[in-house]
Amino acid sequence: MFRQLLHKFFLAFSAYASDAKDSDDIRFKKVTVIIAALAATLIYFVYGLIYFWFNERGVAIFTMGMSVLFALAFASYWKVRRIYWHMYYWQSMQIIGISLTHILLGGFTQSGMVIIWLFTVPFVSILLDKAVNSLYWLLAVVATISILWLLYPHYLRLENNFPPLTLAALGTANIMGFSLYACSILFYFVWQNEILTKLVLSEQAKTESLLLNILPKDIAAILKNENRIIADQFENASILFADVVNFTPMSASMTPTELVELLNEVYSHFDILVEKYDLEKIKTIGDCYMVAAGVPRRRADHAIAITQLALDIRDYVSKHKFHGHQLKFRIGINSGSVVAGVIGKKKFAYDLWGDAVNTASRMESHGSGGFIQITEDTYNIVSNDFNCESRGKVNVKGKGEINVWYVIDKLS
């Protein structure tokens, strides 16, 4: 309940003190300075009433005047809106006002140690200003107290109209008031810091999630922590290409939105299957879907896992219609040595290169709709786990005639 009321209170001040274009840091500084100015206005006014009550009229008039000066600064902010000017004005007026109150009341004990309020100046500066400026204000306060101590024997008066019990009460009130003031500012700082920290962590999580959607987890970690070219040789990997049959004529009969929605629906399910088998989606190229196994994490069952993925893709597509269309995919798989890495400085992506990749692409482009075509290299690895049917030799561009097989189903 208290936290909610405090939140509404600070929101109201934020609306008064800051502008829509302000960053969170500037907004925090503006709100804090305005709250400090308002608090000073109220505190000087209350102390003025106390001094009037005990017949210290000169000090009362002075503190009331200080209250008016702070109130004017508070009101002028609406037009001036120069945050650092107001902050330095507040700090300077604090040093002047507290020092003169201390002198007019007769010194340290006779003023109820009102001088302790001087430390609000560097305290606020530490929260809002540059570190070096905070040090300057701290030195200014220490210097002021030292000068007051040296001049103490020469004050015009060393006693006032306050009874001893009242002086003790004022001393206690000053210590408690300063502590409450400091804790309130610090609480607000910590509270805002918690909000900003949660916001930063939330944005960091979004960025991390986005990065992991683009790059493999291991590669993302390297990019974040190391400044080097990422390129690795993988002797044993498998690559799958899946492409929609007759995609071009089909796309001509669809609107762009329908086409993108269709591909998104199909490939979103493919993504789920890829995650299921802990494989690595490399990219989509138009209507072509590319997956790899054994990169960037090496695994002995790379060919078996990617072949099982191919069967799941084939079976899923054959049993579903997408926006009224029955799709067929050509699927090609090859196994072998690849180079994997990230190139470029902008819009980079994790990619694969090598003859094994080119051959896998040829397996897809030279395949038939609804079939999974694999090379001999892949067949030699998966033949004990999957029922494969020889297609004989196929003439592949750049490779000549090579033996290929169709994967029919998984062996019991």
Q: Which one-letter DSSP state was computed for residue 368?
A: -
Mean pLDDT value across residues 112-123:
89
Comparing 73-77, 146-150, 375-379, 382-386, which segment has the lowest mean pLDDT? 73-77
The residues, ordered by sequence, that sit 6+ positions from 16 with a Cβ below 8 Å of its Cβ are 34, 78
Residue 200, pLDDT score:
78
pLDDT of residue 350: 81
Q: Residue 296 pLDDT > 60, yes or no?
A: yes
289 CB neighbour count, 10 Å cutoff: 25
Task: Name the range with the highest mean pLDDT among 4-18, 62-76, 135-149.
Answer: 135-149
pLDDT band at 18 (very low <50, low <70, confident <90, very high): low
* Residue 228 in this model has a pLDDT that exceeds 90: no
Residue 9: the pLDDT is: 64
Give percent helix, percent strand, percent coil of the chain, each to the nearest 5: 60, 20, 20
Q: Which residue spans within 207-304 are E strands per DSSP?
A: 230-244, 280-285, 288-293
Q: Tens digit of pLDDT for each residue in 246-261?
A: 888 888 888 888 888 8
Residue 64 clears pLDDT 60, i.e. is over it: yes
Whole-number pLDDT of residue 396? 84
**Confidence (pLDDT) at 1:** 59
Task: Pick 203 or 3 by higher pLDDT.
Answer: 203
3-state secondary structure string, the chain? CHHHHHHHHHHHHHHHHCCCCCCHHHHHHHHHHHHHHHHHHHHHHHHHHHHHHCCCHHHHHHHHHHHHHHHHHHHHHHHHCCHHHHHHHHHHHHHHHHHHHHHHHCCCCCCCCHHHHHHHHHHHHHHHCCHHHHHHHHHHHHHHHHHHHHHHHHCCCCCCCCCHHHHHHHHHHHHHHHHHHHHHHHHHHHHHHHHHHHHHHHHHHHHHHHHHHHCCHHHHHHHHHCCCCEEEEEEEEEEEEEEECCHHHHHHCCCHHHHHHHHHHHHHHHHHHHHHCCCEEEEEECCEEEEEECCCCCCCCHHHHHHHHHHHHHHHHHCCEECCEECCEEEEEEEEEEEEEECCCCCCCEEEECHHHHHHHHHHHCCCCCCEEEEHHHHHHHCCCEEEEEEEEEEECCCEEEEEEEEEEECC
Average pLDDT score over residue span 167-186:
84
- Give the model's pLDDT for residue 343: 76
What per-residue confidence (pLDDT) applies to 276?
92
Residue 324 scores a pLDDT above 80: no
Kindly indicate the confidence band of residue 15, based on its pLDDT and cuts at 50, 70 and 90.
low
pLDDT at 151: 92
Q: Express each pLDDT in 325-376 by its tens digit.
A: 788 899 999 999 999 888 777 767 788 999 999 999 999 988 888 899 999 9
Average pLDDT, the chain: 84
Both tokens of 82, joined, read: 């120069």
Q: Among 219-223, 299-303, 304-308, 325-329, which is the least confidently predicted range?
A: 219-223
- Is the model more confident about 309 or about 7? 309
Q: How large is the average pLDDT for residues 218-242?
A: 80
- Mean pLDDT along residues 80-96: 82
Q: What is the pLDDT of residue 368?
A: 87
pTM value?
0.57
pLDDT > 90 in the chain, percent: 32
Q: Which residue ranges form the domains of the chain, and what is each CATH number?
A: 2-210 (no CATH), 217-410 (3.30.70.1230)
The predicted model gives 48-68 an average pLDDT of: 89
Question: Residue 325: what pLDDT?
Answer: 79
